[in-house]
Amino acid sequence: MTKPKLQAKFEPGRGYSKEDWDAVSDNPEWTEEDFRNARPFAEVFPDLAESVRRSRGRPPLDNPKKQVTLRLDSDVVARFRAGGPGWQSRINDILRKAAGLTK
């Protein structure tokens, strides 16, 4: 899918009026001075930037999971997947019980 071209001027028949176009088209192009005066988001809003940084990624776990490659028979995987979302966690629970590690 191609991106639509940005319009540089008002074109009638596109679902909005000339008045609508004029109301939102007052954002001028940046000058060289604007670029020179620009500052990074984290510098202008340090608290907000830190809160965004903290909320990204997986949360730390007391017992982090380990990614492994495991070959299982296709009918076994199909049976667990048929149970819907969470099928990997169900396999983990069964392995935990089999290993005597029940919580």
Q: Is the pLDDT of residue 1 over 70?
A: no
User: Is residue 22 in a domain?
Assistant: yes
Q: In terms of pTM, does the model score above 0.85?
A: no
User: Is residue 33 in a domain?
Assistant: yes
User: Is residue 13 in a domain?
Assistant: no
E-assigned strand segments in the chain: none
Confidence grade of residue 34 (pLDDT, cut at 50, 70, 90): very high
Q: Is the pLDDT of residue 41 over 80?
A: yes
Q: Which domain holds residue 70?
A: 18-58+66-98
Number of independent structural domains in the chain? 1
| Burial (0-12, 13-18, 19+ Cβ within 10 Å), 59 | exposed
User: Is residue 45 in a domain?
Assistant: yes
